[in-house]
Structure 1
Amino acid sequence: MMNGREIRAQPPLEFIPPSLNPIVLRSSQIILPLWLRWKTNIASIQADRVEILADLYHQFQQGKIRFLMAFRHPNTEDPYAMVYLLWKLLPQVAREQGISLQIPTHAHFIYDRGIPLWAGEGIGWLYSQLGGTPIVRGKMDLMGLRSARQLFAEGRFPMMAAPEGATNGHNEIVSPIEPGISQLGFWCVEDLQKAQRSQQVLIVPVGIQYRYVTPPWKEIETLLTQLEIETGLTTLQTSEASDEKILYQRLYRLGEHLLSLMEEFYREFYHQTLPQPKAETSQLDTEAVLSIRLQNLLDVALKVAEEFFVLPPKGNFIDRCRRLEQAGWDYIYREELKPTHNLSPVERGLADRIAEEANLRMWHMRLVETFVAVTWYYVQEKPTAERFAETTLLLWDLVTRIKGGNPFFRPSLGKQRVQMTIGEPISVSDRWHDYRQNRRQAVATLTKDLQMALENTIATN
């Protein structure tokens, strides 16, 4: 199922061109506070060092710089936080600092072309009207890259994008970021030089973190109980919902049980070999063993999908997920199904069959995509309500996917405060000489530095 519909073969995904509509932008700005209140878990949004962003916008509007905001992506509600930052907090701080900014303070943005497939076609229209441009992950999307590149160098507003590529569900872990943002930065420098323009090109890291207004210990215990029942475990009652030691034992037991179920699932029905490392006596060793088992399981899940699509297991888990996603889309969105082509009913039926098969194989990839950033030490080393909640919700995602439900509609554990941090801008222009000497190395170095910059925005207290 995709967005509640039966999977059938379809024509190729069309590019959705950005088409900024001032009326839609203004309407969205008016609706945003009500949307945040009634449709999200966000209670408040605050940001540090917004004066840096105000100065950058002033320089941008003076024609001195071009820049892209690279924001952390722990949560599906991150876009709301970003536009609140730009539409509400930025103008306010600019006024306080005596910085004159032209209104509206907005940004073009890059989004995953797959979002409208599960969120609805209306989202694709809205993103287009707000000046967003789509990108197809996992392949050389020439049209999408060309559009993003053009907006970076020539767009009315700065750019913003999430270099992690997808949400990872963790406030205090940054997933390995993808090199695309760094490459776009160097392309922008190149395009400006060809046009004999002297603007500097910058990438600005933006941190986003969520904290519960009230620690949701009771809600976490309730969700754990639900998951225990759904996975066939006997529920362990706690005397206090916030008894961290017992809650951790329950969370660990649930995770280990699900891991065992999935290991047996792949052994029995997909004939996969999963090594069983032996746990030592200490709890630390047990945690290490569980982490190894999880990594082995994720590898096997990807191999099951890769064998179907005849793809080599090349690169890290994220690289493999992106290639599998594109392979699946190639089976579902078919060139021969364009309106100009005629297929017989039998050919159409076969195309639908392979689309259904592809979607089933992509299910394995979605499991890995959800758990690629999970580590069992995350809760153990700092048993906060946030870390308990994040890990429990990821396990809920897994159970929901197994049951055939939609993991994008998570249960709410309570209202949250959003804390944003503007990091120090990274000059891409200053690295142009390095890029000309060795492009691949320059992109890799910039990507590594951006990764560290995003990690530095994380507050761990």
Structure 2
Amino acid sequence: MPRSIQSTQPPLKFIPQRFNPFVLQIVRWLLPFVLRFRTRPWLPTGIVHIESKNAEILAKLYQQFQAGKIRFLIAFRHPEVEDPLCMLYLLSRIVPRVARQQGILLQHPVHSYFLYDRGMTVWAGNWLGWLFSRVGGVPIRRGRRLDRQAIQTARELFANGKLPIAVAPEGGNNGHSGIVSPLEPGVAQMGFWCVEDLQKANRSETVFIVPVGIQYRYVEKPWSKIDWLLSKLEADSGLPVNEIDPSASLNQQEIYYQRIYRLGEYLITEMEEFYRRFYHQDIPKTISTEEFASPNEILIARLHRLMDKALKVAEEYFGIQPQGNFIDRCRRLEEAGWNYIYREDIPDINALPPFKRGLADWIAEEADLRMRHMRLVESFVAVNSTHIQEQPTAEKFAETTLLMFDMLSRIQDTTFPGRPRLGWKEAQITVGEPISVTERWENLQGDRHAIRQAVSDLTKDLQVALEKLLE
């Protein structure tokens, strides 16, 4: 994350896709090192092993694609920031290896174009935009109702590009290997657009969407690191550290669950008072417990109520009506904030007189502050009442603790330091059965009015397919 923004910025320009096989090859050579030591070269924190299931499905699809028989889009899960690196490893190493083993001839490179959030270059730097453009990336403004240039570029590549295209249909990472966030309809819509574009060109390729699941696990269960991180969060929050007696008749999972529950309840109570007192939000100090079966459900209900209030604080400032789920609201707020910071209505910022420049900087700084309410909510969009309790694992405890770390870091430090790394990890990538978009299009029998429902149905089916890959 960048430091707090205190001045207006020039518009975020579209970064054209300029695929360069030489740059891609360099990235592939560096990939094993980057996977292991992406953020801290001196610590054992990265991904040491990636295994796959059903990679032969992709090998066969690439063979058919290169023969001009099909077009396809890879719809991959997005739980962590490492996902694109794992996908690159899958396509550059695992799929070619499986193809050789099964006698499937493939042309090189086995790669894909991909969509990425334009905001990544805001916090990482312009170098990332340069790199992504050379390895097939297309930037998209997630909150824009219609990012015409990005959508048109992606549509053109899907129908006519020399490579398939990959998209994360969740729109952003949610921090949970075992929970799929509600999908955005863009992937399904792109599938139907591709079929339509092919038919207009009198082409016979079949269009598929391929679901791909990604999950992570620690090589060694990081209980000691979780204990350290929880102790740090307890201390930073003002709670006594590790108040629960380890000698009590509780197993390890129960001890950590109680610590996380206690910390979460404390943080929610403090944030409720924060929004109640300083932002004049109507948050009752009690909640009716009749409709909830457990204290955990009550806590999650309080969390969701708090998230709603935090978003309303930002929405009221930007003049936005609450619409959709938490993810939808976050996306719209992000775009509204960017419109106040990256000013497309100012031809030349440096040509402004000091008075108008001062006003523009004022607006940009305040917009950045208001967007922080949305950033807090982003960390918890996938949290539910049963995730940890159902089959408690070290990974689930680590994920939840890291989300709370994100929250405290955003409040304590405007530079938002990198997450603590709790140990070596392994990735499991599972390729699902391709979904034929062409077949669904043919079932519409040319009824364009039914496409909206077809997009909705395909999105739901893709959601189910991704969730099954995590079972």
Contact 1:236 1:250 in 2 (8 A): yes
Q: What is residue 423 of structure 1 aligned with on the other side?
A: 432
Indicate if the aligned counterparts of 2:112 and 2:164 stay in contact, CA closer than 8 A: yes
Deviation at 1:281, TM superposition (A): 10
Please say if residues 172 and 458 of structure 1, whose CA atoms lie closer than 8 Å, have aligned partners that are also in contact.
yes
What is the CA deviation profile of residues 203-261 of structure 1, one whole-angstrom value per residue up to 9, with x for unaligned ones? 00000000110010111011000000000001126548971111111110000000001
Provide the rounded CA distance (Å) in 2 between the counterparts of 1:239 and 1:286.
22
Partner of 1:57: 62
The residue number in structure 2 matching 1:306 is: 315
The separation in 2 between residues aligned to 1:94 and 1:378, in whole angstroms, is 37
Within the candidate set 124, 127, 142, 1:137 is matched to 142
Q: Match for residue 438 of structure 1?
A: 450
| Aligned counterpart, 2:394 | 385
Q: Does 1:148 align with 2:157?
A: no
Displacement over 6 Å in runs of 4+ = none
Residues 258-291 of structure 1, C-alpha deviation per residue, up to 9 Å, x if partnerless? 0001100000000001134447599952111111
2:2 touches 2:416 (CA, 8 Å); kept in 1? no
CA contact (8 A) 2:6 2:365 kept: yes
Q: 1:127 to 1:282 in 2, by over 3 A?
A: same
Q: Is the 8 A contact 1:113 1:135 kept in 2?
A: yes
Q: Which residue of 2 aligns with 1:349?
A: 358
Is this contact kept in 1: 2:118–2:141, CA < 8 A?
yes
Q: Which 5+ residue runs of structure 1 have no aligned equivalent?
A: none
How much has 1:363 moved relative to structure 2?
Answer: 0.4
Q: Secondary structure at the match of 1:338?
A: coil
> Corresponding residue for 1:165?
171
Alignment partner, residue 467 of structure 2: 455
- Residue pairs, 1:27-426, within 5 angstroms: 27-39=26-38, 41-139=46-144, 140-236=146-242, 239=246, 243-278=252-287, 284-339=293-348, 342-407=351-416, 409-426=418-435
Q: What is the distance in 1 between the residues matched to 2:87 and 2:129?
A: 18
Asked if 1 retains the 8 angstrom alpha-carbon contact of 2:5 and 2:364, the reply is no
1:24 is matched with 23
Task: Give the whole-Å Cα distance in 1 for the aligned partners of 2:288 and 2:392.
Answer: 22
Letter in 2 for 1:202: F
The alignment's TM-score, normalised by the length of structure 1, stands at: 0.96
2:349–2:357 CA contact under 8 A, matched in 1: no
**Alpha-carbon distance, 1:408 to partner:** 6.6
1:3 matched residue in structure 2: 2
Local SS of the residue matching 2:388 = helix
TM-score normalised according to structure 2 size: 0.94
* In structure 2, distance between residues paired with 1:4 and 1:437: 47
Q: Is the 8 A contact 1:54 1:94 kept in 2?
A: yes
Higher alpha-carbon deviation: 378-387 or 182-191? 378-387
For residues 316 and 5 of structure 1, do their structure 2 counterparts lie closer, same or farther at Cα, with a shift above 3 Å needed?
Answer: closer
Contact 2:140–2:150 (8 Å) recurs in 1: yes
Counterpart code for 1:13? L
- In 2, the alpha carbon distance for the partners of 1:78 and 1:371 equals 19
Q: Residue 13 in 1 paired to residue 19 in 2? A: no
Check the 8 A contact 1:217/1:242 in 2, yes or no: no
Which segments of 5 or more consecutive residues in structure 2 lack a partner in the other structure? 39-44
AA aligned to 1:218 is S
SS of the aligned residue for 2:37 comes to helix
Equivalents in 2 of 1:356, 1:24: separation in Å?
37
Deviation at 1:357, TM superposition (A): 0.6
Aligned amino acid, residue 10 of structure 1: Q
SS at match of 1:312: coil
Please, what is the CA RMSD of the aligned residues? 1.9
Cα separation, 2, equivalents of 1:13 and 1:408 = 24
* 1:55, distance to aligned residue in structure 2 (A): 0.2
The CA deviation at 1:338 is 2.7
Deviation at 1:118, TM superposition (A): 0.6
- Number of aligned positions between the proteins: 458
Q: Per the alignment, do residues 156 and 442 of structure 1 end up closer, same or farther by CA in structure 2, a change over 3 Å counting? A: same
Q: Report the AA paired with residue 281 of structure 2.
A: Q
**Cα contact 1:218–1:242 (8 A) shared by 2:** no
Deviations, residues 392-439 of structure 1 (Å, cap 9, x unaligned): 000001010110244471100111110000001001111114263412
**Cα deviations across residues 97-123 of structure 1 (Å, max 9, x unaligned)?**
100000110100000111100111111
- Residues 347-371 of structure 1, C-alpha deviation per residue, up to 9 Å, x if partnerless? 1110010001111111011111111
Closer, same or farther: CA 34–125 of 1 in aligned 2, 3 Å: same
